[in-house]
Structure 1
């Protein structure tokens, strides 16, 4: 892989444009846009968070004074067509919108007494969602008409909402008169209320819209006012459901409970069709790759694609388990883009990544089974599937390296059959700890994030060229 220089960032706000042609970064109170092919700065904007009556005096002090931390940008993002960028300071209640191809155009949204905890783009790229403090309301601002639509009493501004894949409907977990409900709104009709569903008398789990858009984990939008089904791990240890993931087809739902089991539900009866238990010993037939950093320092900057730096054990092998503190990182579930592999990061085994193969593709086994286990020396901080290539995975553990897994590697002296390979690629920097990893939309590059800095890594193609962003 080929790495860029180390650049500054704030609050891990680094994002490729949807076409992978530009890279947006927030640095304190400024938005910076770079070209992804040369990383030269293309645009910069100042997000001024001062009140209007103080702005003239504030401009005189901009050069002499550094911005206070409560004036730094907390949210940033691209519109779906890369025409607009958004920068928000939640502590000051200000959202600024800029147009990439028109330096003179800008828009400003100021939250009132309700405050601001989060701002992000709606899928149409012309509306901005603003979540107020204390769960008071969600405000949808239209850049086209300049009007606002209000939805009251959202429950979870971080995870309790979702858009359907075609962006037609917006589903929101709400709480009215101490009762949890699920509201469905028509985004194509100024977010008009379509229906309210009462949810079961339990704390609201994270809302997830089904990939095909007809249901959420609560119920079906076109059905009568009743849930299609409910599920609870038995016996319930008292901590409930920890993670939920839809299969890309929308036919399966993976649920991780506090019982350290993964329950697979199907969409016909909404009953469990398989239960994946966390193994204490890795059985025969499962690929087990152990991080060599347990005994050696192998995070090398000269690592090449296809060079296996993770050691394969001959099973059976013991999986290190520890009772997880329930206030720490929750388990992770994620299907790859084709739905043939499920990534699981158990809370009881934070150093392990488990890969389960599902029916379909080239390995139709009839039922899910454990395929590979990736063991690391430190807890896994983040793991992400490649958004384009189904058999490509990236992970990090807070060390100066990135871990890559692929089942697409073909040896030069082999028979042309693809096989698994896991490698550890070191970041060529003096001080850099990879705390998060994110793929570019085209699947050819990675953003590696430290606390206040970041760099990008791109695959070196066979002709020696470095993969770069498209239009």
Structure 2
């Protein structure tokens, strides 16, 4: 794996353009665009209202924005015209979140205190206002084609879902109430036909609706867990929904009955026939942070865990991350009471296998990665089906892949890779959209890492 030198950034604001040609960063009061092949600076703009809290690319990589939360100002710039700019002033209502709409010519601005979300159009110069959004980060979504905008709202102390037509100036096409008392989040299936809505931390209840507002099903465990849902993730096909809460269980629901087809449960004792990979102790000091080293393959019986304090609200236990790989054959899971452990579940169910499954084709825990420090972030490659990267705040990055076949026929490999930069601590990962590289983020700097393939290696003379 090759690494670039370290470059400055602020507030972990580093973002690849949609075509992976450019990298946008914020450094104090400046927006900087670098080429992704040479890392030379292509554009730079001074933003008057510092510090910059949000950045973003339009889908066609024509425009970028830099937003400052406290003064409530969004500055928009055009890559192909250095003199063009636009300015959005939210004023005293502030900015809790700023994001591009899928059309690439509208910007969503969520105000503080849940007052409203404003859609500003760069094409017409007009604004559309929608009142009382519940959450600026996890209470809205778009259908995959960008046609409909779905927003969780609260009107007269009741939770409501609003569906808006983006092709008609965000005209409301449907408003329907949901039975939640404190809506936690919503998620739309990749196919766009089912919307998952779930309760807050006090009740384990999930509801499935169509965009027309028809209730399709609901799910709640048979036993009272005492706490609610922490996260949910749709299978790439939309045929399944993974749900995890504070009860250390992951329920895989199908889209026919909305009941569990399988349940994964956290166990401190390692089950048999599971691949266990452990980060070697002291490998960074031994290698001086250079090169890479394979994980150890110990015979581990018990996982390192932390005992949570169940007397406190929202105890540190249960599922904190669920993420499917590109094909839906693997599910990444992290549990808060085992912060140094990453679980990888194998999920062989496909639409063609649902009726006649072989006895060996059942979901199971495939691999476990054990780190020396708590995992900060783990993320699948967006293009390759079985490549995972993670970081844990050390001067290294860790990879797991099922694309490698060893001499014994084993089809996976886990490696520790040192970052050749002085005093660099990897605290975030940003994959490039083409899956060929990633940006590793420290507190004030970032560098990029690219896998070296055989075609990249120099030929023997």
Return the TM-score normalized by structure 2: 0.90
2:204 aligned partner: none
**What is the aligned counterpart of 1:268 among 249, 256, 264?**
256
Give the alignment's Cα RMSD to 1 decimal: 2.1
1:355 aligned partner: 344
Residue 299 (structure 1) shift? 6.1
Find out whether 1:200 has 2:188 as its counterpart.
Answer: no
Given that 2:210 and 2:216 are in contact with CA atoms closer than 8 Å, whether structure 1 keeps it comes out as: no
**What is the aligned counterpart of 2:388 among 384, 393, 397?**
393
Residue 232 (structure 1) shift? 2.6
Matches within 5 A, 1:67-466: 71-218=50-197, 219-223=208-212, 225-293=213-281, 297=285, 301-304=289-292, 309-314=294-299, 317-324=301-308, 326=314, 331-360=320-349, 365-411=360-406, 414=407, 419-465=411-457
Given that 1:233 and 1:259 are in contact with CA atoms closer than 8 Å, whether structure 2 keeps it comes out as: no
| Deviations 1:347-386 (CA, angstroms, capped at 9, x unpaired) | 1111110000012479974431100000111110000000
How many positions carry a matched residue from both structures?
Answer: 437
Q: Distance in 1 between matches of 2:61 and 2:283?
A: 46
Given that 2:117 and 2:133 are in contact with CA atoms closer than 8 Å, whether structure 1 keeps it comes out as: yes
C-alpha change, 1:465 and 1:171, in structure 2 (3 Å) is: farther
| Deviations 1:134-184 (CA, angstroms, capped at 9, x unpaired) | 100000011111111111100000111111111111111110000011111
Given that 1:173 and 1:180 are in contact with CA atoms closer than 8 Å, whether structure 2 keeps it comes out as: yes
Q: Distance in 2 between matches of 1:353 and 1:236?
A: 27
2:7 aligned partner: 7
Residue 300 (structure 1) shift? 5.4
Find out whether 1:48 has 2:43 as its counterpart.
Answer: no
| Local SS of the residue matching 2:215 | coil
Given that 2:188 and 2:195 are in contact with CA atoms closer than 8 Å, whether structure 1 keeps it comes out as: yes
Residue 47 (structure 1) shift? 1.3
Name structure 2 gaps, 5 residues minimum: 198-207
Q: Distance in 2 between matches of 1:444 and 1:47?
A: 31
| Deviations 1:269-293 (CA, angstroms, capped at 9, x unpaired) | 1112211100221122110001112
Given that 1:408 and 1:418 are in contact with CA atoms closer than 8 Å, whether structure 2 keeps it comes out as: no
Q: Which moved more, 1:265-274 or 1:17-26?
A: 265-274
| Deviations 1:231-283 (CA, angstroms, capped at 9, x unpaired) | 23343333310111110000111011110110111111111221110022112
1:22 aligned partner: 22
Given that 1:233 and 1:257 are in contact with CA atoms closer than 8 Å, whether structure 2 keeps it comes out as: no
Given that 1:395 and 1:437 are in contact with CA atoms closer than 8 Å, whether structure 2 keeps it comes out as: yes
2:201 aligned partner: none
Residue 11 (structure 1) shift? 0.8
2:200 aligned partner: none
Q: Distance in 1 between matches of 2:324 and 2:155?
A: 34
Return the TM-score normalized by structure 1: 0.88
Q: Distance in 2 between matches of 1:246 and 1:409?
A: 27
Given that 2:209 and 2:217 are in contact with CA atoms closer than 8 Å, whether structure 1 keeps it comes out as: no
C-alpha change, 1:328 and 1:21, in structure 2 (3 Å) is: farther
Given that 2:290 and 2:418 are in contact with CA atoms closer than 8 Å, whether structure 1 keeps it comes out as: yes
| Local SS of the residue matching 1:243 | strand
Residue 327 (structure 1) shift? 6.3
